[in-house]
């Protein structure tokens, strides 16, 4: 098993603003014009992108949302608990991992516009996953939650939002 530090070095991972570490591994050379995309995309985007994403148990991926569906693929390590709040305020969660008999799933798609956050609950461990989006990722489509604003929007999830925002 690799350590967190070894993976950061071997996979050339960088700190992600939401928490965790990432590296973009693929960016399609196909460009989709702004006019061919739904109105939330303000300009052209690559057709698709993929990243490695590593999350450790000593931090969390803070609540954020993106304009496109995001497919998560489990590679190695401990399971990730992914929390979601739909635009209507409905909470759901999923365990992404490889222990299928315990209900973990190796692949999961977070729907566009859902607020989501993630954590690795087993101590001293990490998870390595892949995240794929289409159209491709652009920080213009990414919004990191502001704690007070999100709590105001979804008061019944206030405690969870407090735990998983910075
Ligand atoms: N590229 C940079 N950050 C991200 C992210 O959070 N998700 C995806 N899919 N690609 C990214």
In the chain, where the domains are located:
4-163
Question: If we measure between CA atoms, which residue out of 21, 24, 26 comes closest to residue 6?
Answer: 21
> Whole-prediction pTM value?
0.96
Query: Which residue's C-alpha comes closest to atom 10 of ligand 1?
Result: 137
pLDDT digits (tens, 9 = 90+) for 77-105: 999 999 999 999 999 999 999 999 999 99
CA of 80 to the centre of ligand 1 (A): 17
Residue to mutate (ligand 1; options 13, 21, 26, 49; most atoms within 8 A of CB):
49
pLDDT, tens digit (0-9, with 9 covering 90-100), for 130-139: 999 999 999 9
Pocket test for ligand 1, best of 24, 52, 107, 108 (most atoms within 8 A of CB): 24
Which atom of ligand 1 lies nearest, measured to the CA of 51?
Answer: 10
Fold of 4-163: Jelly Rolls (2.60.120)
Q: Is 21 exposed, middle or buried (0-12, 13-18, 19+ CB in 10 A)?
A: buried
Task: State both tokens at 104.
Answer: 């973990």
Best CA proximity match to 144, nearest among 112, 119, 116: 116
The angle at the Cα of 131, spanning 29 to 105, to the nearest 5 degrees, equals: 140
User: pLDDT tens across 15-39, in order?
Assistant: 999 999 999 999 999 999 999 999 9
H or E element that contains 5: helix 4-11
Distance CA 127, CA 90 (A): 26
For the stretch 55-64, pLDDT in tens is 999 999 999 9
Pocket of ligand 1 (CB under 6 A): 16, 22, 24, 49, 51, 70, 131, 133, 137
């Amino acid at each position: 098993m690799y350590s967190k530090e070894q993976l950061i070095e071997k996979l050339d991972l960088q700190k992600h603003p939401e928490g965790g570490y990432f590296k973009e591994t693929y960016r399609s050379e196909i460009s989709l014009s702004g006019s061919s995309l739904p109105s939330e995309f303000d300009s052209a985007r690559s057709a698709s992108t993929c990243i490695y994403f590593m999350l450790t148990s000593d931090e969390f991926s803070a609540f954020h949302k993106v304009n496109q569906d995001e497919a998560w693929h489990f590679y190695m390590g401990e399971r990730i608990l992914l929390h979601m709040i739909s635009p209507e305020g409905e909470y759901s969660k999923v365990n992404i991992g490889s222990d299928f008999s315990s209900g973990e799933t190796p692949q999961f798609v977070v729907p566009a516009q859902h607020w989501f956050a993630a954590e690795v609950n087993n101590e001293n461990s990490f998870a390595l996953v892949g995240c794929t989006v289409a159209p491709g990722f652009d920080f213009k489509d990414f919004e990191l939650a502001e704690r007070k604003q999100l709590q105001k929007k979804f008061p019944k999830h206030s405690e969870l939002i407090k735990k998983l925002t910075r």
